[in-house]
Structure 1
């Protein structure tokens, strides 16, 4: 199965992000990709203001726009978006939280995975504005079972093992990983480790680095450091991007998953 990991920088303009995502999906589909993974926060970047003001559900313009192009091209698309969730009280204020959702859309499918592990770390608390999800998600594409995780989930190996035990041979990971000292090295280690933990392919698509390579290594907040990657089931990086906009392609052979799981029966 040919896959694509699409790396670009979204903005605060949801309509503009939909147009850009559509353009990149068409490009990837034109290269024969059947599964096309876009970054976390494709619909609206994290640094662009309140997420609840543009959040919309699966019947909203962003999700339906991606569904239309995916169905037209007969591909499956995974892309980060935000959906209305609940209201909570924080320090005397009512906050309308959203779900950090990886939309899964294409012929015969239109659903999502809600990020389970919110980024409550390093003096930041994503759960203040994002309701954590609760359910693992897998789906079938061309006879291959695909699982979905998002960004900070990659620090939790049990989620990836559970996805593999649920049948996942490929795990798609939209992400928007903060840059800063050591952050690239952490991402590269964790993405490879989760492939090895689960003996699955990892197809991870991230936000490219604002400012490109010239800003590499500087603290960026949750706005991306690039380095989208496709990792094989034994932890080998098959394709890896740099800091700039890029589309990665890889042909995934499920026989390699079977071979890895026979040799390493860790599940």
Structure 2
């Protein structure tokens, strides 16, 4: 989905807002509104919230039977008004009922008025398989000269979902999580963080991650550059806004090398591998 704009092309201030979600949609919306206002004060152009931030994630925070989908639509209409008022793209996690089916979606609201096509989660297992239908969209959005790809939670485990973004020339990957625990689990937090770093490195693509804030976060809210470096990260388990500026930059030697090999790997597998020749200049990626 392409959106034209008079904003700076190829450069954008992005944000991610984390808070501890609940099954109380009125409370969730109040926190979402708080995050939008904070982001507007920081001149954020694209703001992401986590998986099912509005409705609560079933069944961890709410049962599917208790989700009021009509109320969710009314709250989403208010989010759309915020998008126009603050000239901001807002990506909001929400359980959505559409055509008699329920999807785990990230809805994208445009400052130009109206809603862009939602991205519906495709990697479903466990609770997701019990509660949601599998999506079928690609989650690609062209905004202010940047191509942004959205993915949801469990999809970070599978390189294929992110290789789709690479092949379509994404300039930024956004991953919306609801990955939390009743007890602290720093090992899982570091594991998911490592997945995010790897998705950034292997696809030469910066990644913005946003997660529910509690009780205990088991995935970060953070920004990773194309080399997997963590440039910004929220404090664990606290309500907080992350802001970073992303822009298109020339490839470094290592980044160009990863793109070159990625291109070769997309071709048929070679029958013979030549002996390795030592580099005389530069370093690998």
> TM class, shorter-chain normalised?
0.7 to 0.9
2: CA distance between counterparts of 1:58 and 1:197? Answer: 41
Within the candidate set 40, 45, 70, 2:51 is matched to 40
Does the Cα contact within 8 Å between 1:9 and 1:245 map onto a contact in 2?
yes
Corresponding residue of 2:274: none
What's the secondary structure of 2:180's corresponding residue?
coil
Does the Cα contact within 8 Å between 1:5 and 1:247 map onto a contact in 2?
yes
1: CA distance between counterparts of 2:92 and 2:66? Answer: 19
Within the candidate set 19, 25, 31, 1:8 is matched to 19
Alpha carbons of structure 1 residues 254 and 129: separation in structure 2 relative to 1, 3 Å: same
How much is the aligned-residue C-alpha RMSD, in angstroms? 2.3
In terms of Rg, which structure is larger? Answer: 2
User: Does structure 1 residue 84 correspond to structure 2 residue 97?
Assistant: yes
Moved more, 100-109 or 149-158: 100-109
1:106 is displaced (CA, Å) by 1.8
Does the Cα contact within 8 Å between 1:41 and 1:176 map onto a contact in 2?
yes
Does the Cα contact within 8 Å between 1:57 and 1:83 map onto a contact in 2?
no
Alpha carbons of structure 1 residues 257 and 106: separation in structure 2 relative to 1, 3 Å: farther
1:58 is displaced (CA, Å) by 11
Within the candidate set 201, 214, 217, 2:206 is matched to 201
1:197 is displaced (CA, Å) by 2.0
1:114 is displaced (CA, Å) by 0.2
2: CA distance between counterparts of 1:163 and 1:227? Answer: 21
Moved more, 198-207 or 256-265: 256-265
TM-score normalized by the length of structure 2: 0.78
TM-score normalized by the length of structure 1: 0.83
Structure-to-structure mapping, 1:2-151, within 5 angstroms:
2-46=13-57, 47-54=60-67, 56=69, 60-85=73-98, 98-108=102-112, 110=115, 111-118=117-124, 120=125, 124-151=126-153
Alpha carbons of structure 1 residues 128 and 72: separation in structure 2 relative to 1, 3 Å: same
- Structure 2 unaligned blocks of 5 or more: 1-11, 264-285
Corresponding residue of 2:225: 232
1:18 is displaced (CA, Å) by 1.5
2: CA distance between counterparts of 1:125 and 1:246? Answer: 27
1:19 is displaced (CA, Å) by 2.1
Does the Cα contact within 8 Å between 2:96 and 2:102 map onto a contact in 1?
yes
Within the candidate set 242, 256, 259, 1:262 is matched to 256
Alpha carbons of structure 1 residues 230 and 181: separation in structure 2 relative to 1, 3 Å: closer
